[in-house]
């Protein structure tokens, strides 16, 4: 048997020792040969017992290789990129420190690569609610919580594929190591940073993959459960996140999207969508449909963030 791993799991973490312990338990419990995968963890400035949790799991009998690295520079993108430079396996699986992969997660990712020849794979993400979700929360807004469920059918992710609207995110995605060597890692000016809701590193990485001609698949059998804490289930969190995301997407499109027709520096279709959303807010208010009213109002919040960035010097 080869001693080299086939796939490396990459995780960035900071001060989430209990959630990370659950993630590592799920990774140790994978129904996959231990010598065929390893787990690489970047500690981005933890002050709790994170290192002890990692070292305890690494010593567990029957565990795969678990490697710890301390990354002092703040920012998730810095932490993840430090690990990407160390990967020697042909495949990289990305997940987060608040995610519990199903036992056949790695099996599903590798099967998708081998059966389709894809360059990257987006897995299925299901919610693990700390409390019952509020009645005003629609599935349309699940992306804010990083729990987009794209269904139970394998899809092709390409400009003309049946999964063209699926975007892989860091909670559950995998990529060939050669792709990272070709296009580089995550942008440091994007991604989570303590005290902010900064986003966009996954989106920008995806745009670069597509721009370079790489193709992917959505694999529903590669499932994870993403923890949703109670403190995120409030309206203010959604408004703040979507406003920030609108700014991030504007910044990305300024770099990657040159063909879209614009009005006052903003894509024309977004003006049309904003008008429809304003109408939806009024109609839903009259009908007493709180779920639709909130969803439409937060889309307008996203649009205001987009404009703020597009009109900034």
Give one DSSP letter per residue of 216-252, joined into a string.
EEEEEEEEEEEEE-GGG-SHHHHHHHHHHHHHHHHHH
Q: Compute the distance between CA of residue 106 and CA of residue 108 in angstroms, rounded to an integer.
A: 5
Mean pLDDT, range 281-295, rounded to an integer: 95
In percent, how much of the chain has pLDDT > 90? 80
- In this prediction, residue 251 has a pLDDT band, given cuts at 50, 70 and 90, of confident
| pLDDT at residue number 36 | 95
Residue that wins the pLDDT comparison between 23 and 263:
23
| pLDDT at residue number 1 | 42
Residue that wins the pLDDT comparison between 173 and 248:
173
Mind listing the pLDDT tens digit for each residue in 175-204? Answer: 999 999 999 988 877 766 655 556 678 889
Q: What share of the chain is helix, strand, coil (3-state, %, to 5)?
A: 45, 20, 35
**Residue 210: pLDDT over 60:** yes
Sign of the CA dihedral 292, 293, 298, 301?
positive
252-258, long-range: CB < 8 A, 24+ apart: 252/200, 252/203, 252/204, 252/207, 254/310, 255/204, 256/204, 256/207, 256/208, 256/211
> What 3-state DSSP class applies to 156?
strand
| pLDDT at residue number 201 | 85
| pLDDT at residue number 274 | 96
**Residue 33: pLDDT over 80:** yes
Structure tokens at 82: 């430090």
Q: Compute the distance between CA of residue 113 and CA of residue 101 in angstroms, rounded to an integer.
A: 18
Point out which residues pair with 129 in neighbouring strands. 228
Task: Tell me, rounded to whole angstroms, the distance of Cα 306 from its chain centroid.
Answer: 20
| pLDDT at residue number 193 | 60
Question: Which of 5-9, 40-44, 101-105, 247-251 is predicted with the least confidence, judged by mean pLDDT?
Answer: 247-251
Q: What contacts 224, CB < 8 A, 6 or more positions away?
A: 95, 99, 100, 101, 102, 105, 123, 124, 125, 126, 171, 172
- In this prediction, residue 5 has a pLDDT band, given cuts at 50, 70 and 90, of confident
- In this prediction, residue 58 has a pLDDT band, given cuts at 50, 70 and 90, of very high
| pLDDT at residue number 240 | 94
Mean pLDDT, range 97-121, rounded to an integer: 97
- In this prediction, residue 133 has a pLDDT band, given cuts at 50, 70 and 90, of very high
How many other CB atoms are found less than 10 A from the CB of residue 106? 25
Mean pLDDT, range 61-70, rounded to an integer: 94
Q: Are 3 and 35 in contact (CB under 8 A)?
A: yes
Q: Please name which of 36, 57, 43 lies closest in space to residue 11, comparing C-alpha atoms.
A: 43
Burial class from Cβ neighbours inside 10 Å (0-12, 13-18, 19+) for residue 147 reads buried
**Residue 311: pLDDT over 80:** yes
Q: Are 177 and 89 in contact (CB under 8 A)?
A: yes
> Cα separations (Å) of 16 from 52, 89, 195?
12, 27, 15
In percent, how much of the chain has pLDDT > 70? 95
Mean predicted lDDT score pLDDT of the chain: 92
């Amino acid at each position: 048997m080869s001693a080299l791993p086939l796939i490396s799991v990459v995780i960035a973490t900071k001060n989430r020792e209990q959630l990370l312990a659950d993630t590592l338990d799920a990774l140790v419990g994978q129904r996959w040969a231990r010598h065929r995968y390893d787990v690489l963890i970047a500690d981005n400035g933890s002050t709790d017992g994170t290192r002890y949790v990692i070292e305890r799991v690494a010593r567990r009998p029957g565990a795969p290789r678990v490697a710890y690295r301390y990354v002092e520079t703040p920012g998730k993108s810095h932490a993840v990129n430090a690990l990407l430079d160390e990967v020697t396996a042909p495949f990289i699986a990305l997940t987060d420190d608040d995610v519990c992969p199903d036992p056949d997660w790695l099996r599903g990712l590798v099967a998708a690569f081998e059966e389709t020849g894809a360059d990257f794979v987006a897995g299925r993400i299901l919610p693990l609610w700390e409390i019952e979700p509020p009645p005003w929360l629609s599935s349309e807004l699940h992306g804010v919580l990083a729990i987009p469920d794209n269904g139970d059918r394998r899809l092709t992710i390409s400009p003309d594929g049946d999964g063209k609207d699926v975007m892989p995110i860091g909670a559950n995605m995998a990529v060939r190591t050669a792709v990272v060597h070709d296009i580089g890692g995550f942008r440091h000016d994007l991604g989570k940073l303590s005290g902010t809701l900064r986003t966009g590193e996954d989106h920008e990485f995806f745009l670069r993959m597509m721009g370079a001609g790489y193709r992917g698949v959505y694999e529903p059998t590669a499932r994870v459960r993403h923890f949703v804490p109670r403190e995120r289930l409030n309206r203010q969190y959604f408004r703040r996140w979507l406003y920030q995301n609108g700014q991030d997407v504007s910044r990305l499109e300024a770099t990657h999207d040159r063909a879209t027709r614009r009005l006052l520096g903003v894509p024309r279709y977004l003006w049309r969508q904003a008008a429809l959303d304003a109408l939806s807010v009024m109609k839903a208010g009259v009908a007493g449909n709180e779920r639709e009213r909130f969803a439409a109002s937060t889309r307008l919040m996203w649009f205001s963030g987009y404009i703020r960035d597009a009109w900034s010097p």
